Amino acid sequence: MKTQFLRRAVITALVCGALGAALVGTAEAQPKNKGGKPAKDGKSDKGGKPKAERFAVVRVGDKVEVVEQEELKELRAKLDREFKQQQEDYKQRKAAAKKSKEKFAEPRPKKPAFKVLKKGLKSREQADGIARKMAEKGKGGASGPKGKSTGWVVVAKDGGGHEVIERAQLDARNRDAVTAHAAAIKDWTQRKKTAAKEKRKFGEARPKKPKAIKPVGTYKTEELARAALAKLEKRSGKGKDKGKSGAKGKGEKR
Q: What is the pLDDT of residue 44?
A: 47
Looking at the chain, the whole-number percentage of residues with pLDDT higher than 70 is 67
Q: Do the beta carbons of residue 133 and residue 57 sit within 8 Å?
A: no
Which of 127, 218, 216 shows the shortest CA–CA distance to 166? Answer: 218
pTM tops 0.85? no
216-229 tens-digit pLDDT: 888 878 888 888 88
User: Distance between CA atoms of 136 and 219, rounded to whole angstroms?
Assistant: 11
User: Distance between CA atoms of 1 and 192, rounded to whole angstroms?
Assistant: 121
User: Distance between CA atoms of 66 and 83, rounded to whole angstroms?
Assistant: 21
The residue among 115 and 240 whose pLDDT is bigger is: 115
Query: What are 164's strand-pairing partners?
Result: 154
- Grouping H, G, I as helix, E, B as strand and the rest as coil, residue 213 is coil
Give alpha helix (H) positions in the chain. 2-29, 72-99, 124-137, 167-197, 222-253
Give the list of residues 6+ apart from residue 163 with CB closer than 8 angstroms, or none: 154, 155, 157, 229
Burial zone of 131 (CB within 10 Å; 0-12 exposed, 13-18 middle, 19+ buried): buried
Residue 238 has pLDDT above 50, yes or no: yes
User: Distance between CA atoms of 9 and 21, rounded to whole angstroms?
Assistant: 19
Which of 158, 170, 168, 177 shows the shortest CA–CA distance to 215? Answer: 170
How open is the CA angle 5-11-12, to the nearest 5 degrees?
Answer: 90
Looking at the chain, the whole-number percentage of residues with pLDDT higher than 90 is 4
Residue 186 has pLDDT above 50, yes or no: yes
Backbone angles phi, psi at 232, to 5 degrees: -65, -45
User: Distance between CA atoms of 169 and 89, rounded to whole angstroms?
Assistant: 18
Q: What is the pLDDT of residue 168?
A: 82
Residue 137 has pLDDT above 80, yes or no: no
